[in-house]
């Protein structure tokens, strides 16, 4: 579905929250043809960089919704700690057929319905690579979202990367732990690899450059290749070679796999706690 024709000034898209993720989503929509006049942005305290971006893009921003301007879709991109304060203010935007999409971690469909009423609702979990159009989003919809509505929401999420729909909302906690939080795990890998390089004798700037390029390059190879990750790993590993020596440590008892299982379990547990 084309974003150039899906929304208009009379049937706009509303974005609530103009922070990093909200800004990344908006940039993706505009790059995919969304008319700047067809989007309403609401944020009482947007970052300076967001204000500059909105001005360049010709997108208006207001502190909050006003009566008389209903939206086709409302995308709520605020932190879960403040969403309970934000949701009640969105009632003026809701009209017949409005769909609300929340990307706040831990905010369930039931919670959204409690604040917004029995409308079409989507709970989505994107990740920060959306800032460069390489995100991955998992989403779940309630029964009020029909096939056309799902396609329209999908076109918004696809503008910043791939989208996976799930039927069971309980899976969103695991999604949050794997892909939502996952970029931080990868960045930590780059940090640790650079630190290990320094321990091995490399100058800090050289170690940082090597680690950054290695993680980014390996990620790009994984993205472009049709081979599974384990085969790509095996392709790098010569028998009794240097990589094999390192992998004996990383894949040994107490190595990366059990640590990652524990990390993902901790993140999923926290997501459930945020859900109340």
Q: Which of 20-24, 50-54, 198-202, 271-275 has the highest mean pLDDT?
A: 198-202
Asked whether the predicted pLDDT for residue 1 surpasses 70, the reply is no
How do 99-102 and 39-42 pair as beta strands? unpaired
Which tens digits make up the pLDDT trace of 64-121? 887 778 999 999 999 888 999 999 999 999 999 999 999 988 899 999 999 999 999 9
Angle at CA of residue 42, ends 86 and 137, nearest 5°: 75
Angle at 165 between CA 162 and CA 169, to 5 degrees: 135
Question: Residue range 197-210: average pLDDT?
Answer: 98
Residue 69: the pLDDT is 83
Beta bridge partners of 137: 163
Looking at residue 46, its pLDDT comes to 87
Helix (H, G, I), strand (E, B), or coil: what is residue 7? coil
- Tell me the residue length of the chain: 276
Can you tell me the mean pLDDT for 229-233? Answer: 98
DSSP per position, 29-52:
HHHTT--GGGEEEE-SS--HHHHH
Q: How far does Cα 274 stand from its chain's mean position?
A: 17
Which has the closest alpha carbon to 25: 89, 66, 63, 73? Answer: 73
Encode pLDDT of 183-203 as tens digits: 999 999 999 999 999 999 999
How do residues 136-160 score in pLDDT, each as one tens digit?
999 999 999 999 999 999 999 999 9
Alpha helices in the chain (DSSP H): 3-6, 20-31, 48-57, 83-86, 109-116, 147-158, 171-175, 182-199, 204-224, 229-236, 242-250, 256-274
């Amino acid at each position: 579905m084309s974003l150039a024709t899906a929304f208009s000034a009379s049937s706009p898209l509303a974005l609530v929250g103009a922070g990093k993720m909200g800004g990344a989503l908006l940039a993706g929509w505009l790059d995919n043809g969304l008319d700047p006049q067809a989007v309403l942005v609401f944020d009482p305290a947007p970052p300076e960089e967001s204000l500059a971006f909105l001005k360049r893009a010709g997108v208006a921003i207001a502190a909050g919704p006003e009566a008389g301007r209903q939206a086709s879709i409302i995308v709520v991109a605020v932190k879960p700690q403040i969403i309970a304060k934000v949701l009640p203010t969105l009632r003026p935007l809701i009209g017949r057929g409005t769909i609300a999409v929340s990307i706040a971690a831990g905010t369930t469909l039931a919670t959204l319905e409690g604040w917004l009423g029995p409308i079409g609702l989507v709970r989505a979990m994107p990740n920060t690579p959306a800032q460069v159009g390489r995100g991955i989003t998992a989403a779940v919809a309630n029964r009020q979202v029909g096939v056309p509505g799902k396609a329209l929401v999908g076109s918004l999420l696809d503008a910043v990367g791939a989208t996976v729909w799930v039927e069971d909302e309980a899976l969103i906690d695991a999604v949050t732990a794997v892909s939502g939080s996952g970029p931080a795990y990868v960045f930590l890998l780059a940090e640790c690899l650079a630190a290990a390089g320094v321990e091995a004798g490399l100058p800090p700037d050289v170690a940082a450059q090597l680690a950054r390029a290695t993680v980014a390059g390996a990620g790009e190879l994984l993205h472009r290749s049709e081979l599974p990750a384990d085969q790509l790993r095996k392709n790098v590993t010569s028998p009794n070679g240097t990589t094999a020596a390192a992998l004996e440590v990383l894949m040994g008892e107490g190595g990366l796999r059990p640590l990652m299982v524990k990390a993902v379990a901790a993140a999923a547990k926290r997501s459930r706690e945020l859900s109340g």
